[in-house]
Amino acid sequence: MQVLWSEGPSNVQHVRDSLLPDEKLAYNTVQTMLNVLYRKGRVRRSLTGRAYIYRAAASREKVLCQAVREFVQRAFGGSPEALVMSLVKTNQVDLEKIAKLSRELEAEEKPDE
């Protein structure tokens, strides 16, 4: 998905080459994953010549929002506050960063004067 979001519609070979340039994944492995994503509705595809061109079915923002929502529901009982506390307790984010983010969000919410 990262390749499709960043580079746009791509065939299997392009996705394969973009994933791990130094460590080549098997073509069939990448093709299988794209086909799984297609069956799940995460990507769309169209036949161009003899190859399928895959494109993301939804924006990165929309997919990540849904994934975070599902993760918070499953792992933290639906409590975003519990997620934040876990991030603080495991030193993934510190209180200064949270305060800075809070100030930035408040600035975005205030209309220009």
Percentage of the chain exceeding pLDDT 70 = 97
Q: What local confidence, expressed as pLDDT, does residue 9 receive? A: 97
Extents of the domains making up the chain: 2-56, 68-109
pLDDT band at 37 (very low <50, low <70, confident <90, very high): very high
Average of per-residue pLDDT across 69-94: 94
Phi, psi of 53 (to 5 degrees): -105, 125
The CATH class of 2-56 is mainly alpha
Residue 12 has pLDDT above 70, yes or no: yes
Find where tokens 């340039």 sit: 21
pLDDT tens-digit series, residues 17-27 = 999 877 889 99
Residue 103: predicted pLDDT: 92
Question: Phi, psi at residue 56, to the nearest 5°?
Answer: -65, 140
Report the residue count for the chain. 113
Residue type at 39 in one-letter notation: R
